[in-house]
Structure 1
């Protein structure tokens, strides 16, 4: 079978490898669609060579169909439509016992620490496989994993219906956070410098701000009728933008700021890979701002990238009100266009 492998910075190879049957407790998935996220781009550029082992099959956003069943995986059947939760946690470390499985101390991030979905057939532990609603198209289902991440972010913010939410950074995760927040009943504005992104975000019905030409803090104050924003998500952009909006929260004595990334957002550099940045550094920088603003009634927190099983379930709601089926969600623009092995020929 064919696989797409990362072998060196900016070098991908299509390789033929032997197809193996699923082991005990595993299912084999015929991959239908696979997406690429920022972590995959970091891998491709060589930013994570200190962590990954080459050759590496990456790509952790996917959907597919079960093609074979290993012993002791009786809850699955050939033909089941599935996706994968690529964060196997051990369930016994202190982080897991505290309910923070996404930062398990022994976490195996599939696609970084072990092979992932850019292959024709993929053997996975049955415990990581998630059943898809029959009504969900497979190309849209490849977005379940990033949507689960944003469900986690919004859930942790504890926003309520009618809250005014500012999303700083209009990339795919920022737009999905905005979509989930509006799905939960919030009013949302997105601050983004790139003109093309702002146009696409506006087409989804969101208010947008170009911080280079608009006083974002003043705009938010007028939009919120002098009450200030209730929640700010920094996803990641320039820390100065968050400071500008956060200052109005300090003046009003209320609000929440959620940092959803890593040191990248604080340092403003594009060469700091998110998953290799020190968690202690993120915590320290967040703690400093939290200590400064807590006395003024502003809650500042950082959320490590990831999600829990509950967030994954929320991203898979089968009713008509599902997030991925919502007109607020840019699924048609973010979903993978194709995953056929013939489309990998560019890597040769």
Structure 2
């Protein structure tokens, strides 16, 4: 069992009022060549729901659920919005924290879901004299706690369908699309992002057939990204005569903007037009098994550090303008 002074919850961050939206998006894409038109498009999505991302509120809810469970001081730092990681690192150093475990709100291997978090933690440490050592807890896509939470939420979504359609409803698992080149280099030997997602989806689906599709693409159109897109897939399913679908956002751990907009707004509208009965499973959120999973991760031996060659930064000039 590893010994830690504190738990650091590391997340993407998101705006909490309308005037935060564009500065937040500029933080996300700084130096990546994302067109201004794309930022304005994403800004409109935020402003359409009041200019507030759900992700910070959900981080606070997760921390509140963790406090009676983990037995450690809990700190919270974001990559792209307040509370920024560097500010949190200063608080930790001032409080005398010397060795912290980092729980990242992304379960899978890829540059954007792992390496970029490690790089941002290192950058924050470099700004703070006496910053604590930070150990990233392992990827948890296959942890029984995460899988139990997603299985229960998937079953609940199935039960919200009309009874006549529950038996033959298609399970459609979704995750954030990434460039094909990034997917090819995910993990120590490449391909880990897709492989891990398929593993998690298969375990949640059990004996039911399922599909794994992608959402939230935002990069340059000339760069190949993982496909099919969830809305395109719904169209294909309708042409096959599928009448009911449960969307399972297996690639996410909270119901943030990419879930709320891309699934609850865009995909839901597509399903209505296609005549498909659609429900959406909740993400792991603050499910008790997901919360207890964090305690169990803390009790495991310290995970090995990722090799320096694992999940390298993409070499292309553009990068995704993520929404969270």
Q: TM-score, normalised by structure 2?
A: 0.35
Greater relative CO, 1 or 2 (CA 8 Å, sep 6+): 2
More strand by share: 1
More helix by share: 2
Bigger Rg, structure 1 or 2: 1
